[in-house]
Amino acid sequence: MDMKLLFAASIFFVLSACQEITPPKPFGPLPSARQLDYQQMEFNAFFHFNMNTFTDIEWGSGGEDPDIFNPSDLDCEQWIKTCKDAGIKGVIITAKHHDGFCLWPTETTKHSVKYSKWKDGKGDVVKELSDACKKYGLKFGIYLSPWDRNNAKYGTPEYIDVFRDQLRELLTNYGDIFEVWFDGANGGTGYYGGANEKREVDRRNYYDWPNTYKIIRELQPKANIFGDGGPDVRWVGNEQGFANKTNWSLLRRDGVYPGWPKYKELTSGHEDGTHWVPAEVDVSIRPGWYYHASEDHKVKSLPQLLDIYYHSVGRNGTMLLNFPVDRRGHIHENDVAAVMSMANQLNKDFKTDMAKDATITASVDRGRGYGTGNLNDGNRDSYWSTPDSITSGSVVIELDEPKVINRFLVQEYIPLGQRVQEFTIEAFVDGRWRMIAKETTIGYKRILRFEPVEAEKVRFTIMKSKACPLISNIELYHAPAVMVEPLISRNKRGVVFIKAFGESADLLYTVTGKDAVKHGVLYSEPFILKGKGTVKAVIRDKSSGKYSPVATVEYDVSKDKWRVRKGGKRSNRAIDGNPQSSYHVNGDKFPIDIVIDLGEILNIAGFTYLPDQSRWSSGVVKEYGFYVSMNGKDWGRPVSEGEFSNIKSSTVWQKKEFEPVTGRYIKLQALSEVDGVKRLGAAEIGVVTE
Ligand code: FUL
């Protein structure tokens, strides 16, 4: 080759190799460094532990005696060890809730641990917890309720100084704070230093938030401020534990304030938001935020907790899971078991990433440094991108052999903004592309769950994006079926329903009490069981062949022919077979009765009673009498009488047996109610026949 030409060619080669591809420009509102750190934490814990723990209510009035706060065995390390084991990265404590009781020895009020007998006034829960966090390497945050139903100054400008002093104490004396949590509930009735009155405030302006935020920025510049509308982290608009599928980390922030009426918009954010304000999904592991012994059996189940995870972390939100710490000062063992079962299942769900070693190709890329190799390199700072002018594109993940998948995880490179508006996932099965999902936003992280599919390749297509898409990570998994016992139910007509959780599972059952693993038949549709029978059901994972624990429910005769003869409105709810519906009847005095016609003469050897299962159950019968009659008029003496022990704390099924008697009518008589209310309530009443 001509030397000149060779020289020119090599210059050209060197120049083009060195040519820098221009990086994409930021688009729209961007996260701050503190918000980025926060979003990467993904899963945090909330602790509601304060005066209400000892008064057994959710909102104290503020007039409580500080001595009532008295944990018998406070063990903050137990809380933090539990969190660490469960994969939780940071925790937030209710340093002060609406009743104004302070968990630290504040100088601002006498309504605190300093004035309680607990540890002779030398205790400091905030200190013990922050120390435990330091020891185990978790981040620490505080909840300081703006509303203070104890403080005499609440509602006046002087209270704002008290509130800010409290904030200063918390932000100065306990090390690094990652989040400061301001609740939206503000103003109303309260003790207020003994005034016992209603005090409303202008939620938008009373607290002069901008100047309060300045204190936080000055004392803890890395702390994220949580409020209904941010400024750093926003409320997700519900306490049930979900963000919407479409979830923008953007918000028209300056229009949102505590108590903003359009709070439902917070569940999706605003596509045209003016500020970066990601959503935090706060939800309690029990029905209440505070501990109530009566909710010991109402801890969320594994399927419920998994749904919350996939609907928060899996939808571009952070999960803030609340533990109502008990009166000992421990996370209750039922709650520990529940969170650990969730953590263990998630470890299984995300065990082997099948995209990690896959070959990924793209329809288009921006050029060197922005190729598809960035999608599975485990580096969150590298990303695949298209040229500026192209706002769509697809990548194909080619697996070395067909593999079963049911999870798709994808992340945008958010430091330059949230962009993707529409995307699809397809699987290549038997020589053609099959649509798996058509979705909208991605954001920091999006995880899709779908029915297992055996795919040779997976295609991820961005259909629409506000600017060139920047994708930093893609992962593929095959999560095993959730091996919890299936749910069995039977309605009034005797129709039995069996429900399995999770995908890829067969359901097997028997109605004779025989082992469902050995003798079970495949459940395909609801079936009728009018008479007595013991239904057993089990889940069999299709791919591993493993079995779940077996669910067993003993049924007596169905209530098909039953009619309530004496009872008020909606009395049918006590015999409809649905534990979630309940019936209540009030009386002027006890006894209060419900009479049921069984529609046939039966040999009765016992009865069952399930109290109201709702959050604030009422009419829970404490002492009872139970009668059987042939004609519904002559009742004679009760065939059973006594009390349902511990029913206030544990509203579970009660069963009483007695010498068999023959009859067609039954009467349950309430002789007292757990709260002294003159009411009989029942979710279900049943009989035990011979
Ligand atoms: C609510 C409060 O009123 C509840 O008591 C609880 O603290 C929850 C996290 O926020 O709005």
Residue nearest to atom 6 of ligand 1 (CA): 289
In whole angstroms, what is the distance from residue 439 CA to residue 383 CA?
A: 21
The candidate with the shortest Cα–Cα distance to 631, out of 559, 561, 558, 565, is 565
The full DSSP string for 250-301 is EE-GGG--TT-TTGGGGGT--TT-SEE--EEEEEESSSSSS--GGGTT-PPP
Taking the CA of residue 282 as reference, the ligand 1 atom at the shortest distance is 9
- Say how many Å lie between the CA of residue 533 and the centre of ligand 1: 44
CA dihedral 93, 97, 102, 103 (to 10 degrees): -30
Q: 203 — alpha (psi -120 to 50), left (phi > 0) or beta?
A: alpha
For residue 226 and ligand 1, the question of a CB distance below 6 A is answered with: no
Which of 376, 337, 331, 370 minimizes the C-alpha distance to 356? Answer: 376
Q: How far apart are CA 155 and CA 199, in angstroms?
A: 6
The radius of gyration of the chain's CA atoms, rounded to the nearest angstrom, is: 30
Q: Is the CB of 282 under 6 A from ligand 1?
A: yes
> How far is the C-alpha of 410 from the C-alpha of 488, rounded, in Å?
36
Spacing, Cα 396 to ligand 1 middle (Å)? 45
Give the Å distance between the CA of 614 and the centre of ligand 1. 19
185 lines ligand 1 (CB under 6 A): yes
- 183 C-alpha to ligand 1 centroid (Å): 6
Q: Which CATH superfamily is domain 359-477 in?
A: Galactose-binding domain-like (2.60.120.260)
Q: How far is the CA of 255 from the centre of ligand 1 (A)?
A: 22
Q: Is the CB of 463 under 6 A from ligand 1?
A: no
Q: Domain extents for the chain?
A: 42-349, 359-477, 487-555, 563-689
Pocket test for ligand 1, best of 103, 228, 289 (most atoms within 8 A of CB): 289
183: Cβ below 6 Å to ligand 1?
yes
Q: How far is the CA of 305 from the centre of ligand 1 (A)?
A: 19
Q: Whose CA is nearest to atom 4 of ligand 1?
A: 289
CATH superfamily of 563-689: Galactose-binding domain-like (2.60.120.260)
Looking from the CA of residue 184, the nearest atom of ligand 1 is 11
Question: If you classify domain 42-349 with CATH, what class do you get?
Answer: alpha beta
What single-letter amino acid sits at 614?
A: S
Ligand 1 atom closest to 322 (CA)? 9
Rounded Cα gap, residues 501 and 512, in angstroms: 23
| Mutation to probe ligand 1, out of 180, 239, 291, 321 (largest number of atoms < 8 A from CB) | 239
Model pLDDT, residue 395: 98
Distance 181 CA to ligand 1 centre (A): 10
SS3 of residue 115 by DSSP: helix
Establish whether residue 426 lines the binding site of ligand 1, counting it when its CB lies within 6 angstroms of any ligand atom: no
Q: What is the pLDDT of residue 503?
A: 62
For residue 504, the model assigns a pLDDT of: 66
Atom 10 (ligand 1): residue with closest C-alpha?
Answer: 183
Which tokens belong to 68? 């009532």
Tokens of 477: 């998994």
The CATH class, in words, for 487-555 is mainly beta
> Best mutation site among 49, 51, 143, 183 for ligand 1, i.e. most ligand atoms within 8 A of its Cβ?
183
Rounded distance from Cα 480 to ligand 1 centre (Å)? 35
Helices and strands counted in the chain (H then E) = 10, 34
Q: Are 103 and 126 in contact (CB under 8 A)?
A: yes
CA of 219 to the centre of ligand 1 (A): 25
CA of 226 to the centre of ligand 1 (A): 13
How many angstroms does the Cα of residue 185 sit away from the middle of ligand 1?
A: 7
pLDDT < 50 positions in the chain = 1, 12-18
User: Cβ distance 304 to 501 under 8 Å?
Assistant: no
* Residue 289, ligand 1, Cβ within 6 A: yes
Ligand 1 close to Cβ of residue 280 (< 6 A): no
Same fold, 359-477 and 563-689: yes
- Closest approach atom of ligand 1 to CA 145: 7
Strand order in the sheet with 527-528: 487-490, 495-499, 527-528
Q: Is the CB of 228 under 6 A from ligand 1?
A: no
pLDDT at position 14 is: 47
The protein residue with its alpha carbon nearest to ligand 1, atom 3, reads 185
The atom of ligand 1 lying closest to the CA of 97 is 7
Q: How far apart are CA 268 and CA 441, in angstroms?
A: 10
**288 CA distance to ligand 1 centroid (A)?**
10
pLDDT of residue 409: 98
**What is the pLDDT, as a whole number, of residue 13?**
47
Gap from CA of 172 to ligand 1 centroid (Å):
25
Could you tell me which residues come within 8 angstroms of residue 460 by beta carbon, excluding any fewer than 6 positions away? 394, 395, 396, 397, 408, 410, 423, 424, 425, 474
For tokens 């007998």, the residue is 117
Distance 294 CA to ligand 1 centre (A): 19
Rounded to the nearest 5°, which phi and psi values hold at 66? -55, -25
436 alpha carbon – ligand 1 mean position (Å): 38
